[in-house]
Amino acid sequence: MDRLKVLTGNSNRALAEKIVDNLHIPLTPVECSRFSDGEIFVKIGESIRGSDVFIIQSTNKPVNDNMMELLLLIDAAKRASAKSVTAVVPYYGYARQDRKVEPRVPISAKMVANLLESVSLDRLVTIDIHSNQIQGFFNIPVDNIYAAPIILNYVRELAIEDLVVVSPDAGGTHRARSFSAQLNAGLAIIDKRRPQANKSVVMNVIGDVDGKNCLIIDDLIDTGGTIINAASALRERGARDVYCVCTHPVFSDNALDRLIQAEFKKIIFTDTIPLKRESLPQTEQLEILSVADLLSEVIRRIHFGSSLEGIF
């Protein structure tokens, strides 16, 4: 393990600390500061020569600063003669812009992949990336780990009767179907349209939710519009309690307050993006699940060259 180094930027230090605790190694020190004009300065505080280096850094808000820190940390690690550099990006930002949906727009997810490869990254580990095909934007190995086992364990503990798992849009059908099968629950799909970015409209609900308890599952919640509109549509069609779960709590602006006011029985999310429990509204509706154990095991297996098969 002395050739295993884990370091982090400013995006999710709490998660990085849990990971190194699990691995029984110290966090490799990093200085991460700003020049007077706002440029980012990073310096790795000890030798990493010949080591497998894992950089834990989500690209959540402030997205561009966190992305730049990640790129600089990779560059610093490569130039410091690391044997390998793996970016562990629990939440991979810019992933929603993964295709051209109108003229004169970029494919940002591909451009970010190019940037990461341009600093000679060896491997990317991420969790529940917005669309699986983003893996193909890279020419290096990409391990997209699923948070599903963690979420499923928690939902099973809730022992919800008459459960229907709901996908809030057609794109999430595969995920919702897999959850419904593993929870022995029904399945419903919402026909959502996006007239413009960050605005969503429910057109239809496919499936029977009358008298059922519903669990809406999504990869991320940003403004909360998708999930809140989905919950209203389900209630209009006779749903009883509505739960929501996502892997990545992007929660822009006042999204979390709006979710709480929307009277979800539970709002479940993981710590791929840091939200301090103490600073959140004190309500039993909120449940934060940690991906630290999962990522620690992934890092351990990659370092020792073991298969990740059992983890997917």
Residues with a known catalytic role? 192
Three-state DSSP at 30 gives: strand
- The answer to whether 226 contacts ligand R5P (rule: CB under 6 A) is yes
We find the least distance from the C-beta atom of residue 219 to ligand R5P, in angstroms, to be 5
**DSSP conformational letter for 183:** H
CA-CA distance, 15 to 8, in Å (whole number)?
A: 9
- Contact stretch for ligand R5P (CB under 6 A) within 31-39, 77-85, 214-222, 302-310: 214-222
- The answer to whether 133 contacts ligand R5P (rule: CB under 6 A) is no
- Contact stretch for ligand R5P (CB under 6 A) within 60-68, 80-88, 217-225, 300-308: 217-225
Residues 218, 245, 259, 286: which binds ligand R5P (CB under 6 A)?
A: 218
Count of residues of this chain found to bind ligand R5P when the rule CB under 6 A is applied: 16
x/- map, 159-198, ligand R5P, by CB under 6 A = ---------xx-xx-------------------------x
Element of type H or E holding 125: strand 123-127
> The tokens of 132 are what?
């699986």
As a dihedral over the C-alpha atoms of residue 76, residue 32, residue 64, residue 287, rounded to 10 degrees, the angle is 120
Name the residue among 127, 124, 201, 207 with its Cα closest to residue 163.
207
We find the least distance from the C-beta atom of residue 282 to ligand R5P, in angstroms, to be 23
Cα 231 versus chain centre, distance? 22
We find the least distance from the C-beta atom of residue 275 to ligand R5P, in angstroms, to be 15
- Is residue 91 a contact partner of residue 112, using CB atoms and an 8 Å limit? no
- Is residue 87 a contact partner of residue 301, using CB atoms and an 8 Å limit? no
CA-CA distance, 12 to 189, in Å (whole number)?
A: 33
- The answer to whether 222 contacts ligand R5P (rule: CB under 6 A) is yes
- The answer to whether 106 contacts ligand R5P (rule: CB under 6 A) is no
- The answer to whether 128 contacts ligand R5P (rule: CB under 6 A) is no
**DSSP conformational letter for 80:** T
- The answer to whether 200 contacts ligand R5P (rule: CB under 6 A) is yes
Site for ligand R5P in 74-103 (CB under 6 A): 96
Q: Which residues bind ligand R5P (CB under 6 A)?
A: 96, 168-169, 171-172, 198, 200, 218-226
